[in-house]
Structure 1
Amino acid sequence: MDFRKTFDRIPDQFDKWRPRYCDELFRDIIEYANIGPGKSVLEIGPGTGQATEPFLKTGCDYLAIELGEHFVDFTKKKFGAYENFHIINDDFETHDFGERKFDLVFSAATIQWIPEEIGFPKVFNLLKNGGALAMFMTYTDEKTSNGSLYNEIQKVYDEHFHVETKYTCSLNYDNVVNYGFVDLNYRDWKKTRIYNADEYVEYLSGTQVEHITLQEPYRSNFNNGVREAVIHAGNRIILDDTIALYLTRKP
């Protein structure tokens, strides 16, 4: 199964529940890449645009490439008032950008969908000399702050979470230096989200590929089991987020 357009089925739910990034992250990227008017920026797979607006606000020449047609329609409505907003509905892996070069290419939890031997060289070639690549994502720890609730939810997974195809996309971001990039550095920020039972089920159903593709009757049984576990634990679950950023550049 090709999971790449899974979220495109549910743009409104995805936009509502996808975790947001922090202001500090955008500040660091914009400063690192020196982004502002006259600079060109490419976003790979913006989805519904959780990471888009801070760059539009710099006055840069912004271009996004997005595989999902529903996501494209969503972001056109969301950011259409910005004259510097442009988006292409196509596959980054195969799209021909011609001679266009960028001062910054960035990915908000999308580049891991692209094999590194395709993605990293293509980004390298799309960057101007000295141009930057920013890769960021949110890692969520659901175990540390939830005690026995975590174990109860794992029992629900064991009993009801039976998917036809496992999500296996992964990327070693440190490998970017094997493709000509230099000055790789990492930084992160800690945030916390708290959901009640219904919110947590909606979050899972709107942002996790395997949960979205889970078939009935497993889907209903799983959602009901998770909901009951959270309610039994006080109708409260804590998600400890690490917002991770990798910055690197082309010499």
Structure 2
Amino acid sequence: MDERFTFNEDVGNYDKWRPTYCKELFNDIIQFSELNKNKKAVEVGIGTGQATMPFLITGCYVTAIELGKELAEYSKEKFKKYENFSVYNTSFEDFECDDSSFDILYSATAFHWIPEDIGYPKALNLLKNCGTIALFWNKPFVNREDDLLHQKIQSIYQKYRPSNDKLLENDSARYEKISRTIRSYGFRDLQVKLYHQTRVFNSSGYISLLNTYSDHRSMTESTKQLLYNEIENAILEHGDVINVYDTIDLYLARK
């Protein structure tokens, strides 16, 4: 299965457990783009709308694009009272619109699904001159070396999904790579900002969160259940509380 469609399988769970983004991030985007009711925005990969409301309440017209049919229908219903909102059930690659149509294009933890050589040129074309691109990702981290629970969970992952990859809470090489990519396609005035937040889960809530991740949903059912059972038991043994440390990286630039 195309992993992009795994988000479409359990929309209610996705909306409940996926993180929202901090107020400071939206304030910075709105200030940078000078967003107001006279402008037009396009959101790439709306999902269930975790990042949509702050744009809608500026009064700008938001056109959302969503590949998953159930997700698109969910967001259409969720924001139905807003006359400044519409959603298209299609891929960004297939989305049809005149060039220079939007003042801002933004995407929340979704733009990596689009091939780079298609996504960035198309974003540039859709934006008006001096229009803003705002791309941001939330990266949850549960591997702090001084946390015995997180160490235990990593050992469980090594049992069921062995990997030599080193997980980094602040990945400066990643930030630089994305920055170079954005500049290479002609965007200017690039700003990169980081935001941090902590979420607290009990064992059942954390398993629900894991089940919103495409790489977890695509595992074989038997292996996934063994993984989830051991992680849940580990959290229960540590007081039924686990902290998730989020780092959100934001990239702002202009056409």
Deviation (angstroms), 1:154 = 2.0
State how far apart, in whole Å, the 2-side matches of 1:217 and 1:235 are: 24
2:206 equivalent to 1:200: yes
Query: Structure 1: which 5+ residue stretches go unaligned?
Result: 163-169
Deviation (angstroms), 1:91 = 1.1
Matches within 5 A, 1:58-69: 58-69=58-69
Match of 2:11 in 1: 11
Deviation (angstroms), 1:245 = 0.9
Match of 1:181 in 2: 187
Which secondary structure state, in structure 2, belongs to the residue aligned with residue 185 of structure 1?
Answer: strand
State how far apart, in whole Å, the 2-side matches of 1:63 and 1:42 are: 5
Deviation (angstroms), 1:236 = 1.5
Which secondary structure state, in structure 1, belongs to the residue aligned with residue 253 of structure 2?
Answer: strand
2:116 equivalent to 1:116: yes
Q: RMSD of aligned C-alpha atoms?
A: 1.7
Q: Does structure 1 retain, via aligned residues, the 8 Å contact 2:120–2:182?
A: yes
State how far apart, in whole Å, the 1-side matches of 2:17 and 2:202 are: 13
Deviation (angstroms), 1:100 = 5.5
Question: Which segment is superposed worse, 142-151 or 192-201?
Answer: 142-151
2:229 equivalent to 1:224: yes
2:252 equivalent to 1:247: yes
Match of 2:136 in 1: 136
Which secondary structure state, in structure 1, belongs to the residue aligned with residue 87 of structure 2?
Answer: strand
State how far apart, in whole Å, the 1-side matches of 2:82 and 2:130 are: 27
Query: Structure 2: which 5+ residue stretches go unaligned?
Result: 163-173
Amino acid at match of 1:180: G
Amino acid at match of 1:84: N
Percent identity for Structure 1 against Structure 2:
40
Number of residue pairs aligned between Structure 1 and Structure 2: 242
- TM-score normalised by the chain length of structure 1: 0.92
Which secondary structure state, in structure 1, belongs to the residue aligned with residue 211 of structure 2?
Answer: helix
State how far apart, in whole Å, the 2-side matches of 1:92 and 1:66 are: 8
Q: Does structure 2 retain, via aligned residues, the 8 Å contact 1:136–1:243?
A: yes
Amino acid at match of 1:204: L
State how far apart, in whole Å, the 2-side matches of 1:76 and 1:47 are: 11
State how far apart, in whole Å, the 2-side matches of 1:9 and 1:146 are: 36
Q: Does structure 2 retain, via aligned residues, the 8 Å contact 1:146–1:237?
A: no
Match of 1:165 in 2: none
State how far apart, in whole Å, the 2-side matches of 1:19 and 1:145 are: 24
Deviation (angstroms), 1:146 = 6.0
Q: Does structure 1 retain, via aligned residues, the 8 Å contact 2:144–2:151?
A: no
Question: Which segment is superposed worse, 105-114 or 229-238?
Answer: 229-238
State how far apart, in whole Å, the 1-side matches of 2:154 and 2:50 are: 29
State how far apart, in whole Å, the 2-side matches of 1:25 and 1:244 are: 9
After superposition, the Cα gap between the structure-2 partners of 1:186 and 1:99, relative to the gap in structure 1 and judged at 3 Å, is closer
Deviations 1:37-81 (A, max 9, x none): 110100001000000011111111110111110011100110000
Which secondary structure state, in structure 2, belongs to the residue aligned with residue 217 of structure 1?
Answer: helix
Q: Does structure 2 retain, via aligned residues, the 8 Å contact 1:161–1:214?
A: no
Deviation (angstroms), 1:234 = 2.0
Which secondary structure state, in structure 2, belongs to the residue aligned with residue 125 of structure 1?
Answer: helix
- TM-score normalised by the chain length of structure 2: 0.90
Which secondary structure state, in structure 2, belongs to the residue aligned with residue 158 of structure 1?
Answer: helix
Which secondary structure state, in structure 2, belongs to the residue aligned with residue 134 of structure 1?
Answer: strand
Deviation (angstroms), 1:145 = 7.0
2:96 equivalent to 1:96: yes
